[in-house]
Structure 1
Amino acid sequence: MKTPRKSRTWALPLVALMTAGLAVTGATPASADVSFSASGLTASVDGTSVTASVKVASDAAALVRQVGICVRDANGGNEDFPKWGRTWLNSDGRTLTVSGDLPSGTYTYWACVLDEGAWYQAGSRESFTVGGGSASPAPAVSAGGSSMPVGNLSGWRQIFTEDFRTDQAEGRFPGVYAANWKSYDGFPDTHKNGWYNQDIISVHDGYLDMRLHSKNGMPQGAAPIPLLDDSGKVTGQTYGRYSVRFKADKLPDYGMGWLLWPTSGNWNDGEIDFPEGDLGKTIHGYNHCLGNPSVNCAIVETGVPFAGGWHTATLEWTPSRITFILDGVTYRTTTKSVPSKPMQWVLQTASAGTPADSTAGHVLIDWVSIYAWNGA
């Protein structure tokens, strides 16, 4: 996979180049769009020692802040190898070989580049397994690219999981999932350009599928809602960790607004959105100001396109902070305007503008995992 980053004008002072140990002579900073790519990603395991290698390139000369091989354990924990600091990349590429010791387990790894404060994936993701003092063959990775986390995490108690193992025909949702899910249905979407219609939801091949399209000139969207208790009603909680693995087609003017919304229905009590944005563009996040929600107290710009592959988005909300995590990378933590009242999670997926009648495609959800904060 080739992952672009936004264009910018290079303006690094001479002292920064000298500190990084780079030769200034002949260096021509780039000012055009740059895309990163990777090839030859491999890993060998000897007991607990892992050595990984990859060649990372860019289609134009670029000085990046860090480049390396990112590693995540089965629960999404960060186990990265040491990374290279400020490094010039070009179309010839740079080959990295790094090593480290890891506990027994299965890991996902990929080439990663830090540029302008954002992490970018270069190339595909692969997996390896460490165990028993000897190498083990890597297990098959699901099409979703990452298995659903199961079990508590430090500071978090898992209260809800869903990996969609039972098929459900389009037009019948929630059906067999009625004990655990509801959905908006039968009223205009948030942008007032389309309609919430749970009939576009189906479950097949281990995924929840929202088939976005127009019907009689009206864009059709959906908003699945996980139920956190056995009351059959939509309820919220105060503080939590919300993770979802998803994949979206490139669908301009359709969008996501997956959000925490006040159980009170009072917007002044807060709103946290992640991921949010037009499915033809990049993934954003927002925290609305308490008491003045038309203003955003935190804005997250990942630079990562919605379309093109699987993503795992995680939103952590505690009494003191909100953290936005995408594909294992923390893009922002904010301590300003942190809500303190119960909120419910709604996966709003509908019009984000005025889609062309011919625009149609899918948003897939591989799994969902929700945690309660345990006060740690």
Structure 2
Amino acid sequence: MGTHAAPRTRRPTLFAALGACLLGALFGIPRADGAPRSGDACRTTGPAMPRGDCGPFWQVLAEDFEGDRVPLGSFRDCDHHVDTSAAYCGGLSGSYRDNWWAYPTGWRDTANDRRRAVAGVYHPEDTVSVGPAENGDGRLRIRMWRPDDGGPVHAAAVVPRAVMQMKYGKYSARIKVTQLAPGYKSAWLHYGGGCEMDHPEGEWTGTLSAFHHPCGGGEQGYYHGADDWTEWHTVSTEWTPGRVRFFVDGRQVGHDTRNVPNRPLSWVLQNESALEGPTAAPGSSAKLEVTWVTAYAYGWK
């Protein structure tokens, strides 16, 4: 199916970021600097998963991964009705089959298009699992790795089926990188039709940020969210008509109103090989854990 990944997404250098801020001041482009530090619509700040509707949002997914275990190997045979709300992984069963899909084995990650020395291929069957942590808390685990022989990174992109091809909404998760190594990153995104919103995004050894690429082109909006992926963070995106807002731990870190998407898009929890900095070493691995995911439709009242 070709590459399904985030085009153009880069963490700007210091000078690029400063220049972007100056342009924003001159031309009224919304930036994270000085953005109101109000909570999101559900006041999603702590470790507990929010339940129920809030503001103009209607909750359509609340997954705390406390149900059945999903061992490695279960996210297989995912090449069914791809990129549609009917997509599914034949290796899954029960609620996980109903609620989750993953990019099929063999799809290439973004680094292939960037001609990076080390790129990745999606392998959900040996990267994605669900099970309890030592304290009993249910977790979705995404463990990416590179073979000892120096082959491509085994990457993972999982997709909540309830919000595939949905227009507007609120999207939240609580995440932490629990095993760190250079060469791995996330770009959880909505994209299509020349539009793109990414949150959270960044190399796991760097900072956690958000990006907005206005539909039809134009300067990207860049918003710093947190300094460290290895701490627990609650991340949220609120996408409403003509506006997108990004939150980390309940704090608004950025917003944009320039050519915000007004078409249905899927939410892709994309994790892949790094686009900047060191590449993944042979035999290395890194792991992201997710303790809950929630999603909401917009305009239910």
TM over 0.5: yes
CA RMSD of aligned residues (A): 2.4
1:161 to 48, 62, 67: 62
Corresponding residue number in structure 2 for 1:244: 173
- Supply the distance in 2 between the matched residues of 1:332 and 1:225 (Cα, whole angstroms): 24
Given that 2:225 and 2:247 are in contact with CA atoms closer than 8 Å, whether structure 1 keeps it comes out as no
Q: What corresponds to 2:271 in structure 1?
A: 349
In the other structure, the counterpart of 1:18 is none
Other-structure match for 1:189: 109
Would you say 1:76 and 2:10 are equivalent positions?
A: no
Post-superposition CA distance 1:57-111 (Å, at most 9, x none): xxxxxxxx9xxxx9x89x5357xxxxxxxxxxxxxxxxxxxxxxxxxxxxx5xxx
Partner of 2:289: 364
- Aligned match for 1:180, one of 99, 102, 112: 99
Aligned to 2:153: 219
Which residue identity is paired with 1:169?
A: P
Question: Residue type matched to 2:240 in 1?
Answer: T
Cα distance in structure 2, aligned partners of 1:191 and 1:301: 22
**Matching residue of 2:7:** none
Contact 1:181 1:224 in 2 (8 A): yes
Query: Counterpart in 2 of 1:319?
Result: 241
Structure 2's unaligned 5+ residue stretches are: 1-13, 15-33, 76-88, 113-118, 133-137
Q: What number of residue pairs does the alignment pair up?
A: 229
> Which protein has the bigger strand share?
1
Structure with bigger RCO (C-alpha 8 Å, 6+ apart): 2
Q: Which residue of 2 aligns with 1:47?
A: none
Give the secondary-structure state (helix, strand or coil) at the position aligned to 2:227.
strand
Structure 2 CA distance, aligned partners of 1:188 and 1:324? 28
Cross-structure match for 2:29: none
- 1:318-363 deviation line (CA, Å, top 9, x unaligned): 0021101001111012111211111110011010142112431211
Seen in structure 2, the aligned counterparts of structure 1 residues 304 and 321 have a Cα distance that, compared at 3 Å, is: same
Q: Which structure's residues are more often helix, by fraction?
A: 2
SS state at 1:153 partner: coil
Deviations 1:131-178 (A, max 9, x none): xxxxxxxxxxxxxxx121110001111111211122111011251311
TM-score, normalized by length of structure 2? Answer: 0.71
**Contact 1:255 / 1:279 at 8 angstroms: preserved in 2?**
yes
Measured against aligned partners, the alpha-carbon deviations of 1:256-284 in whole angstroms (never above 9, x if no partner) come to 0100123xxx3x2x110000010000011
> Secondary structure of 1:179's match?
helix
Contact 2:242–2:261 under 8 Å retained in 1: no
The amino acid that maps onto 1:259 is L
Instruction: Give the alignment partner of residue 198 of structure 1, picking from 124, 132, 140.
Output: 124
Q: 2:214 aligns with which of 244, 265, 289?
A: 289
1:280 to 181, 184, 205: 205
Whether 1:170 and 2:100 are equivalent positions in the alignment is no
Report SS of the residue matched to 1:222: strand
Q: What is the rounded CA distance, in whole Å, between the counterparts of 2:234 and 2:226 in structure 1?
A: 15
Distance 1:290 1:250, change over 3 A: same
Residue 303 of structure 1 and its aligned partner are, at CA, apart by 4.3
- Unpaired runs of 5+ residues, structure 1, are 1-6, 8-64, 79-107, 109-145, 230-234
Larger radius of gyration: 1
